[in-house]
Amino acid sequence: MSYVDEVIELVEKKNASEPEFLQAVKEVLESLRVVVEANEDLYRREALLERLVEPERQLKFRVPWVDDKGQVQVNTGYRVQFNSAIGPYKGGLRLHPSVNIGIIKFLGFEQIFKNSLTSLPIGGGKGGSDFDPKGKSDREVMAFCQSFMTELCKYIGADTDVPAGDIGTGAREIGYMYGQYKRIRGLSEGVLTGKGLSYGGSLARTEATGYGLLYLTKEMLKLNGQDIAGKTVAVSGSGNVAIYATQKAQQLGAKVVTLSDSTGWVYDPDGIDVAAVKEIKEVKRARLTEYKNYRPNAEYHEGRGVWSVKVDIALPCATQNELLLEDAKLLVANGVTAVAEGANMPTTLEATKYLQDNGVLFAPGKAANAGGVATSALEMSQNSERLSWTFEEVDTKLQTIMVNICHNMSDAAEKYGMKGNYVAGANIAGFEKVANAMLAQGVC
Ligand code: NDP
């Protein structure tokens, strides 16, 4: 049996109840096969893959807090410190009822390669809780965040582990967590990214994941002789990534016609009104059903269906496994030419394969959405030097990083005889740096 197959079997045996983690490991290891085979004896002797799939540290803790009725609630908190070979653990905190250890491990594992791809010195980690901020008062969210950080603060720091936002964790949650960290540890340091601008945040961090997604998509199209201007785009989600992806797509001359949330989706033939979505989602924290009140020409549909519209480009920006094989078939039938993942692992393995087999340019999340963590690393740099850069400075660096990621994943795919397979290219480019660092640092 090949080394890759042995390790996949081992992971299946040890993590049988964590389907998302298994999915992520399989996807990565399958595409690394050619690199691993070329170094099989060395990697085997060093147990490199066994070490890669085992988190360095995995924390699980109780998060008790008091709701507005005086009732004590209990949630579970997680932090997986997956791999620090190239720098301090870095990765977001997800607050969503679906969170469990398998989800956090899949996200942490992906983060290792994504962070490596940015070319910045950051290792991989992820955390979160099954707490649902939806429908909670500000005071309840603060009570949860303070309790969560009371425990987490023992394990993180500006040079060890630097969490950030993710689903359910926006500026409000980061603010409450930062305040509590500072209060307990007495340190004004860059321990979290995505902070408010008045206390160490970076300009352009809010926009970075969505903007970065479009910078990479534009470059990928360019490499393949296409232009983003004039293209019609379907975006899913209506959170941070989706909103700023839509905004940048429009600035680049494309027309975004869909958005979605966890209950339904909108189709706006005239192009999505970003200001309206910001008001609905960021100010009112309401549902997309309200969109029709702003744009009478738009349609609102309950349930799934965002991939049924005829578009040139699809950008899944909501959550994992939201673009299924049946959706990929619809997109191909409707003539889609490119798919780039704003969310983490939004496309199932079967859907990804179908899109690639049908000639669709496919940019995996670990490359396409790396702009968020890259800009978080830029926020860490600014915090370390106690300076703030202008929006343009950060945005220019972000553009350079995304263009480089695009070329690195393309070159790596070509080098190993898989031209145009950006999934393999991104995994290989991310892996090589981490593998070399792990080997150089000995058995640890
Ligand atoms: P937000 O919480 O801001 O938005 C998430 C969006 O996805 C919301 O519109 C939400 O709908 C929708 N959504 C969440 N769960 C589901 C579900 N099960 N089914 C359908 N829709 C769902 O999160 P972000 O925009 O920050 O993150 C989106 C994705 O991008 C995630 O996969 C995240 O890991 C990834 N990502 C985020 C980065 C960042 O910088 N924020 C960086 C890199 C990746 P509703 O409004 O109803 O809740």
Q: Which residues pair with 75 in a beta bridge?
A: 63
Atom 43 in ligand 1: residue holding the nearest Cα: 369
Look at residue 82 in the predicted model and tell me its pLDDT: 98
SS3 370: coil
CA of 292 to the centre of ligand 1 (A): 21
CA of 308 to the centre of ligand 1 (A): 20
Burial label for 393, CB within 10 Å (0-12, 13-18, 19+), is middle
Every domain of the chain and the residues it spans: 3-188, 206-359
Only one residue has tokens 């081992």, namely 10
Look at residue 187 in the predicted model and tell me its pLDDT: 96
Look at residue 172 in the predicted model and tell me its pLDDT: 95
Q: Give exposure, 167-189, as e/b (b: 16+ Cβ within 10 Å).
A: bbbbbbbbbbbbebbbeeeeeeb
Quick check: 369 and 341 in contact, CB under 8 A? Answer: yes
Quick check: 336 and 360 in contact, CB under 8 A? Answer: yes
Cα–Cα distances in angstroms (integers) from residue 74 to residues 67, 130, 147, in the given order? 10, 10, 10
For the segment 102-113, the average pLDDT, to the nearest whole number, is: 97
pLDDT tens, 365-383? 999 999 999 999 999 999 9
The fold for domain 206-359 equals Rossmann fold (3.40.50)
Residue 119 beta carbon below 6 angstroms from any ligand 1 atom: no
Residue of 90, 114, 126, 248 with catalytic role: 126
Ligand 1 nearest-atom number relative to CA 96? 15
Look at residue 225 in the predicted model and tell me its pLDDT: 97
- Identify the CATH class of 3-188: alpha beta
CA of 342 to the centre of ligand 1 (A): 9
Ligand 1 nearest-atom number relative to CA 370? 43
Rounded CA gap, 254 and 249, in Å? 5
Ligand 1 nearest-atom number relative to CA 365? 44
Best residue among 131, 141, 167 to mutate for probing ligand 1, ranked by most atoms within 8 Å of CB: 167
For the segment 109-121, the average pLDDT, to the nearest whole number, is: 97
Look at residue 153 in the predicted model and tell me its pLDDT: 98
Atom 2 in ligand 1: residue holding the nearest Cα: 167
Quick check: 102 and 17 in contact, CB under 8 A? Answer: yes
Quick check: 362 and 422 in contact, CB under 8 A? Answer: yes
- End-to-end alpha carbon distance in the chain: 26
Sheet holding 313-315, edge to edge: 299-302, 264-267, 255-260, 232-235, 313-315, 338-340, 361-363
The structure's pTM equals 0.94
SS3 148: helix
Q: What is the DSSP string of 289-317?
A: GGHHHH-TT-EEEESS-GGGS--SEEE--
Ligand 1 nearest-atom number relative to CA 342? 30
pLDDT tens, 293-328? 999 999 999 999 999 999 999 999 999 999 999 999
CA of 343 to the centre of ligand 1 (A): 7
Best residue among 262, 284, 345, 402 to mutate for probing ligand 1, ranked by most atoms within 8 Å of CB: 262
Q: Which residues pair with 361 in a beta bridge?
A: 338
Is 126 assigned a catalytic role?
yes
Quick check: 383 and 389 in contact, CB under 8 A? Answer: no
Best residue among 241, 247, 307, 402 to mutate for probing ligand 1, ranked by most atoms within 8 Å of CB: 241
In the structure, what pLDDT confidence band is assigned to residue 75 with cuts at 50, 70 and 90?
Answer: very high
Cα–Cα distances in angstroms (integers) from residue 278 to residues 168, 239, 286, 287, in the given order? 15, 9, 10, 11
pLDDT tens, 192-245? 999 999 999 999 999 999 999 999 999 999 999 999 999 999 999 999 999 999
Only one residue has tokens 């301090």, namely 88
For the segment 320-343, the average pLDDT, to the nearest whole number, is: 98
CA of 240 to the centre of ligand 1 (A): 7
Ligand 1 nearest-atom number relative to CA 238? 9
Residue 238 beta carbon below 6 angstroms from any ligand 1 atom: yes
Look at residue 266 in the predicted model and tell me its pLDDT: 98
Ligand 1 nearest-atom number relative to CA 209? 40
Residue 323 beta carbon below 6 angstroms from any ligand 1 atom: no
Share of the chain above pLDDT 70, in %: 100
Quick check: 353 and 119 in contact, CB under 8 A? Answer: no
Looking at every residue in the chain, the average pLDDT score rounds to: 97
Look at residue 301 in the predicted model and tell me its pLDDT: 97
Look at residue 105 in the predicted model and tell me its pLDDT: 98
Amino acid at 208: A
Quick check: 245 and 341 in contact, CB under 8 A? Answer: no
Look at residue 355 in the predicted model and tell me its pLDDT: 98
Best residue among 80, 240, 373 to mutate for probing ligand 1, ranked by most atoms within 8 Å of CB: 240
Residue 209 beta carbon below 6 angstroms from any ligand 1 atom: yes
Cα–Cα distances in angstroms (integers) from residue 132 to residues 141, 144, 152, 174, 367, in the given order? 9, 10, 18, 15, 28
